[in-house]
Amino acid sequence: MADESDYDHLCVCCLRGIMPTIARKWTICIVWELGRRPSMRFKDIMKDCGEISPKSLADVLKELSDTGLIERISYDEVPPRVEYHLTEHGRELREALGPMMKWAKRHNHLYMSYRKPGFARAPDL
Protein backbone atom coordinates (compact mmCIF):
# COMPACT_ATOMS: atom_id res chain seq x y z
CA MET A 1 0.00 0.00 0.00
CA ALA A 2 1.36 3.41 -0.95
CA ASP A 3 2.22 5.98 1.68
CA GLU A 4 -0.27 8.87 1.57
CA SER A 5 2.63 11.31 1.15
CA ASP A 6 3.30 9.67 -2.23
CA TYR A 7 0.11 11.37 -3.44
CA ASP A 8 0.65 14.82 -1.89
CA HIS A 9 2.38 16.19 -4.99
CA LEU A 10 -0.53 15.25 -7.29
CA CYS A 11 -3.16 17.77 -8.31
CA VAL A 12 -6.75 16.74 -9.02
CA CYS A 13 -6.50 18.76 -12.24
CA CYS A 14 -4.99 15.65 -13.88
CA LEU A 15 -8.47 14.07 -13.53
CA ARG A 16 -10.31 16.80 -15.45
CA GLY A 17 -10.14 15.00 -18.78
CA ILE A 18 -11.32 11.60 -17.57
CA MET A 19 -13.47 12.60 -14.58
CA PRO A 20 -16.72 13.00 -16.57
CA THR A 21 -16.30 9.42 -17.79
CA ILE A 22 -15.21 7.65 -14.61
CA ALA A 23 -17.62 9.60 -12.41
CA ARG A 24 -20.57 8.69 -14.62
CA LYS A 25 -23.09 6.33 -13.09
CA TRP A 26 -22.35 2.69 -13.97
CA THR A 27 -18.82 3.28 -15.33
CA ILE A 28 -17.04 1.72 -12.35
CA CYS A 29 -19.40 -1.26 -12.33
CA ILE A 30 -18.90 -1.85 -16.06
CA VAL A 31 -15.12 -1.52 -15.90
CA TRP A 32 -15.00 -3.80 -12.86
CA GLU A 33 -17.19 -6.48 -14.43
CA LEU A 34 -15.39 -6.35 -17.79
CA GLY A 35 -12.15 -7.05 -15.95
CA ARG A 36 -13.49 -10.31 -14.57
CA ARG A 37 -13.46 -11.99 -18.00
CA PRO A 38 -11.46 -11.70 -21.22
CA SER A 39 -14.52 -10.36 -23.05
CA MET A 40 -18.25 -9.95 -22.46
CA ARG A 41 -21.40 -9.51 -24.49
CA PHE A 42 -23.93 -6.75 -23.88
CA LYS A 43 -26.50 -8.95 -22.14
CA ASP A 44 -23.86 -10.39 -19.80
CA ILE A 45 -22.65 -6.94 -18.76
CA MET A 46 -26.24 -5.88 -18.20
CA LYS A 47 -26.93 -8.93 -16.04
CA ASP A 48 -23.77 -8.49 -13.97
CA CYS A 49 -24.36 -4.76 -13.37
CA GLY A 50 -27.88 -5.27 -12.06
CA GLU A 51 -30.43 -2.51 -12.44
CA ILE A 52 -28.90 -0.71 -15.45
CA SER A 53 -31.21 0.01 -18.39
CA PRO A 54 -30.21 -1.06 -21.92
CA LYS A 55 -30.01 2.60 -23.01
CA SER A 56 -27.77 3.57 -20.09
CA LEU A 57 -25.52 0.59 -20.73
CA ALA A 58 -25.27 1.39 -24.44
CA ASP A 59 -24.45 5.04 -23.68
CA VAL A 60 -21.74 4.22 -21.14
CA LEU A 61 -20.22 1.52 -23.37
CA LYS A 62 -20.05 4.04 -26.23
CA GLU A 63 -18.32 6.61 -24.03
CA LEU A 64 -15.88 4.04 -22.63
CA SER A 65 -15.08 2.97 -26.16
CA ASP A 66 -14.64 6.57 -27.32
CA THR A 67 -12.22 7.27 -24.47
CA GLY A 68 -10.19 4.14 -25.19
CA LEU A 69 -10.95 2.29 -21.96
CA ILE A 70 -12.77 -0.55 -23.68
CA GLU A 71 -12.78 -2.04 -27.16
CA ARG A 72 -15.94 -3.06 -28.99
CA ILE A 73 -15.51 -5.95 -31.41
CA SER A 74 -18.28 -6.63 -33.89
CA TYR A 75 -18.19 -10.00 -35.62
CA ASP A 76 -19.54 -10.37 -39.14
CA GLU A 77 -21.94 -13.17 -38.29
CA VAL A 78 -25.64 -13.90 -38.50
CA PRO A 79 -27.01 -13.14 -36.00
CA PRO A 80 -24.59 -10.30 -35.26
CA ARG A 81 -22.28 -10.75 -32.31
CA VAL A 82 -20.60 -7.92 -30.39
CA GLU A 83 -18.13 -8.33 -27.55
CA TYR A 84 -16.45 -5.83 -25.27
CA HIS A 85 -13.15 -6.03 -23.44
CA LEU A 86 -10.89 -3.71 -21.48
CA THR A 87 -7.99 -2.09 -23.28
CA GLU A 88 -4.63 -1.71 -21.54
CA HIS A 89 -5.81 1.68 -20.22
CA GLY A 90 -9.02 0.07 -18.99
CA ARG A 91 -7.08 -2.67 -17.19
CA GLU A 92 -4.90 -0.01 -15.54
CA LEU A 93 -8.02 1.86 -14.42
CA ARG A 94 -9.51 -1.34 -13.01
CA GLU A 95 -6.31 -2.02 -11.12
CA ALA A 96 -6.43 1.52 -9.69
CA LEU A 97 -10.04 0.91 -8.62
CA GLY A 98 -9.04 -2.14 -6.58
CA PRO A 99 -8.12 -0.24 -3.39
CA MET A 100 -11.31 1.81 -3.65
CA MET A 101 -13.39 -1.36 -4.04
CA LYS A 102 -11.73 -2.89 -0.97
CA TRP A 103 -12.35 0.31 1.00
CA ALA A 104 -16.00 0.33 -0.09
CA LYS A 105 -16.44 -3.31 0.95
CA ARG A 106 -14.94 -2.62 4.39
CA HIS A 107 -17.17 0.42 4.94
CA ASN A 108 -20.22 -0.67 2.97
CA HIS A 109 -22.44 -1.00 6.05
CA LEU A 110 -21.90 2.67 6.94
CA TYR A 111 -22.91 4.08 3.58
CA MET A 112 -25.56 1.61 2.51
CA SER A 113 -27.57 1.40 5.74
CA TYR A 114 -30.00 4.07 4.52
CA ARG A 115 -30.71 2.23 1.26
CA LYS A 116 -33.30 -0.44 0.59
CA PRO A 117 -33.00 -3.71 2.56
CA GLY A 118 -30.61 -6.25 1.13
CA PHE A 119 -28.79 -3.67 -0.97
CA ALA A 120 -25.99 -3.27 1.59
CA ARG A 121 -24.59 -6.74 0.99
CA ALA A 122 -21.56 -6.59 -1.29
CA PRO A 123 -20.15 -9.62 -3.12
CA ASP A 124 -16.61 -10.73 -2.37
CA LEU A 125 -13.94 -9.14 -4.54
In a domain, 98, yes or no: yes
pLDDT value for 120: 47
Say if CB 85 and CB 64 are below 8 A apart: no
The mean pLDDT of 56-71, rounded to a whole number, is 97
In a domain, 9, yes or no: no
Q: In terms of residue numbers, what domain contains 71?
A: 15-112
> What radius of gyration do the chain's Cα atoms show?
16
In a domain, 87, yes or no: yes
C-alpha to C-alpha distance for 98 and 30, rounded to whole angstroms: 14
C-alpha to C-alpha distance for 49 and 33, rounded to whole angstroms: 7
CATH number of the domain at 29, please. Answer: 1.10.10.10
Q: Does residue 26 have a pLDDT over 90?
A: yes
The mean pLDDT of 40-65, rounded to a whole number, is 96
pTM attached to this predicted model: 0.80
Q: Does residue 123 have a pLDDT over 70?
A: no
